[in-house]
Structure 1
Amino acid sequence: MKLVGVDVGGTFTDVMFSDTAAKKAMIHKVPTTGDDPSRGVMTGILELCERNNIKPADLDYVFHGTTIATNAILEYRGAEAGMITTRGFRDIIHIGRHQRPQHYSIMQEIPWQDKPLVKRRYRKVVTERLAPPHGDVLVPLAEEEVRQAARELKDAGIRSIAVCFLFSYLNSVHEDRAREIVLEEHPDAFVTTSSSIVAQFREFERFTTAAMNAYIGPPVRNYIRQLETALRQADMKAELRIMRSNGGVATPATISEFPVLTLLSGPAAGVLGGAVCGALSGRSNLITFDVGGTSADIGVTNEGRFSEASARDTKIAGYPVLVPMIDIHTIGAGGGSVAYVDQGGTFHVGPRSAGSVPGPAAYSRGGQEPTVTDANVVLGRLDKDNFLGGEMSLDVEGAQKVVGEIAERLGLGIDEAAAGIITILNSNMANAIRSRTVQKGIDPRDFALMAFGGAGPLHGAEVADMLGIPEVIVPTYPGITSALGLLASELKYDAIRTQFQVSGSVDVDRLNSEFAQMGDDVLRQFTADGVSHSEVTMRRYADARYVGQGYELRIDLADGMITEDDMHRSYEQFHRIHESEYGHAFQQSPIEIVNIRVTGTAPSPQLEWPKIGSEGSIEKALIKRDNTKFRVDGELRSFDTAFYRRADLPVGQKLAGPAIVLQLDTTTVVPPNWSFTADPHGNLILTAGGAQ
């Protein structure tokens, strides 16, 4: 199989090719084309093919991580959307839960109120009512009212409509019929029903998720169509797969209908790629540290498994989202993060980024503000003649000029200012890691830091130092690990239903019946993708809580026919998870099952990673020695530093820092008192404490 993975970042678009039969891989990077990312995607694929004598027509699959949906939300530039909802519930998505993101601030923006996904004048109400607990029809759907609402939205120029009814998670009959009517009146509309995205209780979150799908639906659908057209025009017959936020991939048809599933498309691929690289070197407890030009994404892999975000944590730009997502924490910190002094004289780095255009001053593209990249250039940690494998020369004088300007304002020397920029950024990223580890009862010292992205290896060791993490792993292609993760992904579909049951009186027959129906729903999606049922692996879960609690924890449920004994084992697991998460458990308290879930996965063609021989040598790898600056014991000092070419490093030989390791897609910084080794799988293993 010939596979291509393409991940679109804020600064660069990363491309990786794998021939699974020949066991070889190639990489390529091109600037991201912000106005139309598909141009950068096609440029990257075609340039990689041309440089390596690969016929585009021979490609079998293109796996793609996209930021279209995320950017539409972050930049508030989605489609003008409408909503049809139950009479009396027009303002659910405005009122929310009467919770303020910042409890004690009287000057704050509440995203769903300040930037509504659906403006109030485009929220229409109709008569209907379903009744819990089984979704019985209490008041029939007033179909003529739905027709009138659809006509009004059509006349107002609305091309995307969300249908959100009360208790539709129990019975979708009214939403399904309303969708049919809307399409009869407005055939060109993009129509979303809340129950088709997530059949789960909590009206505010479910309605907001449906509204978000309607808001981003048209731009994502248009992008997918453009990309598919471009692939065909380039004579590519490869099947396109899009990365979802849950760590699986889906077909263009699925993503075109449910674009909200891709909100963490790129970061999810990074966690997968990090886990694959860690497994090659025998590490299963990892903190993935994906730092690009604009943002840093933090994930945790425990015993080879990544966790899924809970309902209380799944937010994008402040909006709650009820779709399965890998638990990833993102902050505005990267190589392009801008350093500045605010009106009160406080020194900040990020979250604003210079992006790829104009970019850092060192890129010579018109950047006039000091960035993290410029600070690394000033400190000698980036080699001006060996950036991007020598394809791009860095402007040292330009970097010194902009860093010098902020240094003058702060009353510091230029080196001190540059070191300050790095320290502030590293502190921000270390705090982000603490929020996903220490604050959740996880000791980061028991994990290795998997540093990747264009800037992760630059900062990984110093961030690890701040957290007491003893080991940093830098994968073979750190700048394109998300693209590698795409090649390691599987087809994955989820089904979820709300079902309230309490331990001691659980109806296992009802559970088994629901699971059977949900399994059939998942299998139908695989059938539509041409996947045999024999290739699909199913797993079952439940969201559970102690009676009276407001949020749930995820537990496993048995395969096959569930028995009372199976349920008791799941209850014991819940107590253990609750103890781990909150520090205590209530063994005698009843447990309430809230939601049940089914996840189906089917393997995609996987790349095989060849081992690396030991032909390298220190003499061959050493490019030069030069001065770089590091802060040691509170003092900024200059060190004679070896610069190595990574591809020529000998396997298994421990080398002492300080050192700079250069390659096409990133630069790895090994500070003083750290050592590093290239292992047979291509990973660099950085170890605190220096060479022994």
Structure 2
Amino acid sequence: MIRVGVDVGGTFTDIVLERSGADSAVVVTKVPSTPHDQSEGVVAGILKVCSLAGVAPGEIDAVFHGTTVATNMVIERAGAKVGMITTRGFRDILHMARHKRPHNFSLQFDLPWQSKPLVRRRDRLVVTERIMPPDGSVAVPLDEDEVKAAAELFAKRGMDAVIVAFLFSFLNDAHEQRAKEIVTSILPDAFVCCSSEVVNTIREYERFSSTAMNAFIGPRTSAYLRNLEGRLRANGIDAMVRIMQSNGGISTIENSSALPIGLLLSGPAGGVIGGRWTGAHCGRDNVITIDIGGTSADISVIEGGELRIKNPRDTEVAGLPVLVPMIDIDAIGAGGGSIAYLDPGGAFRVGPRSAGAVPGPACYGKGGTEPTVTDAQVVLGRMDPEHFLGGDLSIDASLSAKAIEDAIAKPLGMTVEAAALGILKIVNNHMALAINANSVAKGIDPRQFTLMGFGGAGPLHSVSLAEAIHAKDVIAPLHPGITAATGLLVTDLQYEYTQSTVIVLDGASDEAFARVNAVRDELIARANRQLDADGVPAGQRRFRQIAECRYVGQGFELRAEIPDGPLTPASAAAVIDDFFNAHRQVYGHAFRDQSTEMVTLRIVATVAVDTLTLPKLDKGGRTDPEDAVMYRRRTVFDDGRALDTPRYARGKLLADDRVEGPALIIQHNSTTIVPPGYVATVLDYGDMLISRKKG
């Protein structure tokens, strides 16, 4: 069995290949990303890792892929031209939203749903129809002639995508489905979707907005996935292809093409999954992960070995609500390519603008002239030109020094080294504040957590960040630059199906339980139909039941687990207890004398995949092993001291070896800094635990 994980970042594309069996091996590599067409970099990386592993491309059994295609489209507002057909009288739901001001007392705040709408007002057309609560009865039949007229107008306007979003369609989707049939018959090449297919839940604004998002990214995302599949086939790679989802699961190309909204956190999710897997190897269940790449830093918290899923009120992308489950990840514009500059007022700033893959940092010699975080690391002697990406990518330290001198040092009257230290101090402070927002602000005490830094730049910043947030210690994974790609190989196949089913759980009647269980059975049946299509044996399927609950009258829900089997008075009591516990954890209090209301039923269908297997290292137990030392070189640390610092080849370190700082530990995909006063201990599988020296 040969499996490949591919994670596309803003600067580099990371690839890991696992060959299981008698000749088992794990091979990793990186190639530059190709922003104009990510599939080029993906295929180039797969062919390169195959060459390194001595594997023919046709021997690959499965490819797992994490992508930022969908996210970038939303951020750049470079998606499809979308038309909308909605219930008469509700044309402006997407404009009015919730009448909330993002910043109550700011005169300059932006409302992205108004300033940069996914669907222009002129392209939101209304038709006569009406479904009524609470049972989904038809009050006004659908006027099919109006739907046809709207579709014909969209055809004249050359719309790429059309959404059908009617009021209360989560109770009865018959009108939406019929309207979709009519639109598809007139616009056979358009991307057409219904709100009940994308988000089958209560709240019309969020449902409409999520459906618009799905259509906005749909045509280009599905085209990219088809193009990727075709390019793989053209290069002799006939493997099964699976795509990483925002919820931490993987899905098929077909499902991802129909519901691309599930890919909005595809890239960062793989890193969190890989961080959890690495933490388990290292005996750490409480981990704060930070994935620092070329353009961004993605932060998440793993508590007790469990991933955190965002509260529905917080699931948004580029300021727009997205009602799909997402791992709780915060992303900021801070990475190796983040550009340092002086703003018009003369203030020293770093990011969020990035040099990206092209032209990249100044040291790449590809035309970049602005100083970046990577250039600062080079100037301070923390990245050696001859070992950058194992020598695959040549860098010029003089270009880094010139960029920093011209843009920062001279204008501020500083030395180049002082300016470089300033760049790192600013970007580290940005990241530390973001970590605290994702941990301390949510009731997490970093002093009880291990900080795990990965991505190509993660181990260069980990110890500095751990000091800033007072983390317990630091882990540098075995392959830091490939951790997100590694996460793709330890992720389960996963689908989620939802249905708004409002019921007060306290003292619910038998009739109410029967109604919920009928919905449950239908959702499980839908999941089984999808898994049948995937060819998954029945014995490998697992179903998790989740009730999204709130107090009666409360505005938003929290997740609570439903025990296996139909909902009964006994299991409802367990749901209520789980909701109380979740409420106490999130808000600091819970009222057990108040009634609990279930709003949405969610079925999560999973299929466990074969997990990545790493060999244990041979035992060493040495301190500062000389045979692993490559050479020594001047390196400047955060306190400004320039020290003669040994470079260790990470591949020559054995289990239980200790490397005392100052030291740099070098490998192909990253460099790990061990500052003075710290010691790095190699663990069984090659991960390193970095902690303060005792005594």
TM-score by length of 2: 0.97
- 2:693 is matched by which residue type in structure 1? G
- 2:132 is matched by which residue type in structure 1? A
How far 1:395 sits from its partner (Å)? Answer: 1.1
| Alignment partner of 1:428 is 2:430 | yes
**CA-to-partner distance for each residue in 1:136-166, whole Å, 9 max, x for gaps?**
1111111111011000001111121011111
Aligned to 2:444: 442
Aligned to 2:632: 625
- Contact 2:247/2:309, CA 8 A, preserved across alignment: yes
Aligned to 2:684: 680
1: CA distance between counterparts of 2:27 and 2:98? Answer: 50
- 1:675 is matched by which residue type in structure 2? V
| Alignment partner of 1:563 is 2:564 | no
**CA-to-partner distance for each residue in 1:63-105, whole Å, 9 max, x for gaps?**
1111111111111111111111111111111111111222222
TM alignment of 1:345-364, pairs within 5 A: 345-364=346-365
**CA-to-partner distance for each residue in 1:115-153, whole Å, 9 max, x for gaps?**
111111111111111111121111111111101100000
Aligned to 2:211: 210
- Contact 1:10/1:32, CA 8 A, preserved across alignment: yes
- 2:514 is matched by which residue type in structure 1? D
- Contact 2:620/2:656, CA 8 A, preserved across alignment: no
**CA-to-partner distance for each residue in 1:623-681, whole Å, 9 max, x for gaps?**
1122212233xxx2222322111111132022211211111111111122211011111
TM alignment of 1:200-349, pairs within 5 A: 200-349=201-350
- 1:619 is matched by which residue type in structure 2? E
How far 1:616 sits from its partner (Å)? Answer: 9.4
Aligned to 1:598: 603
Aligned to 1:122: 123
- Contact 2:547/2:575, CA 8 A, preserved across alignment: no
- 1:585 is matched by which residue type in structure 2? A
1: CA distance between counterparts of 2:503 and 2:60? Answer: 49
2: CA distance between counterparts of 1:482 and 1:13? Answer: 10
1: CA distance between counterparts of 2:621 and 2:237? Answer: 37
Aligned to 1:76: 77
| Alignment partner of 1:667 is 2:671 | yes
- Contact 1:657/1:690, CA 8 A, preserved across alignment: no
- Contact 1:388/1:664, CA 8 A, preserved across alignment: yes
Task: Point out where structure 1 has 5 or more consecutive residues left out of the alignment.
Answer: none
1: CA distance between counterparts of 2:534 and 2:157? Answer: 37
Alignment size in residue pairs: 688
How far 1:503 sits from its partner (Å)? Answer: 3.2
Is the deviation greater in 509-518 or in 154-163? Answer: 509-518
Q: Of the candidates 522, 525, 547, which is equivalent to residue 552 of structure 2?
A: 547
RMSD value over aligned CA atoms?
A: 1.3
How far 1:410 sits from its partner (Å)? Answer: 2.1
**CA-to-partner distance for each residue in 1:188-215, whole Å, 9 max, x for gaps?**
1110111101111111111111111111
Q: Name the SS of the counterpart of 1:386 in structure 2.
A: helix
- 2:662 is matched by which residue type in structure 1? P
TM-score by length of 1: 0.97
**CA-to-partner distance for each residue in 1:478-524, whole Å, 9 max, x for gaps?**
10111111111111000111122223232322222221111111111
How far 1:325 sits from its partner (Å)? Answer: 1.0
- Contact 1:67/1:263, CA 8 A, preserved across alignment: yes
Aligned to 2:515: 510
Aligned to 2:133: 132
Q: Name the SS of the counterpart of 1:631 in structure 2.
A: coil
Aligned to 2:579: 574
- Contact 2:617/2:654, CA 8 A, preserved across alignment: no
- 1:603 is matched by which residue type in structure 2? A
Q: Name the SS of the counterpart of 1:387 in structure 2.
A: helix
1: CA distance between counterparts of 2:411 and 2:105? Answer: 33
Aligned to 1:532: 537
- 1:588 is matched by which residue type in structure 2? D
Aligned to 1:14: 14
How far 1:615 sits from its partner (Å)? Answer: 6.1
Q: Name the SS of the counterpart of 2:301 in structure 1.
A: strand
How far 1:536 sits from its partner (Å)? Answer: 0.8
TM alignment of 1:46-85, pairs within 5 A: 46-85=47-86
2: CA distance between counterparts of 1:210 and 1:567? Answer: 31
1: CA distance between counterparts of 2:64 and 2:433? Answer: 32
Aligned to 2:642: 638
TM alignment of 1:382-531, pairs within 5 A: 382-405=383-406, 406-506=408-508, 507-531=512-536
- Contact 1:311/1:322, CA 8 A, preserved across alignment: yes
- 1:78 is matched by which residue type in structure 2? G
List, as ranges, runs of 4+ consecutive aligned residues in structure 1 with deviation greater than 4 Å.
Answer: none
Q: Name the SS of the counterpart of 1:549 in structure 2.
A: coil
1: CA distance between counterparts of 2:499 and 2:2? Answer: 38
2: CA distance between counterparts of 1:24 and 1:162? Answer: 47
1: CA distance between counterparts of 2:404 and 2:103? Answer: 34
2: CA distance between counterparts of 1:236 and 1:375? Answer: 40
2: CA distance between counterparts of 1:396 and 1:459? Answer: 20
- 2:630 is matched by which residue type in structure 1? I
- Contact 1:616/1:649, CA 8 A, preserved across alignment: no
Aligned to 1:656: 660
Per the alignment, do residues 616 and 377 of structure 1 end up closer, same or farther by CA in structure 2, a change over 3 Å counting? Answer: farther
1: CA distance between counterparts of 2:613 and 2:250? Answer: 19
Q: Name the SS of the counterpart of 1:599 in structure 2.
A: strand
Aligned to 1:198: 199
Aligned to 1:28: 29
How far 1:49 sits from its partner (Å)? Answer: 1.3
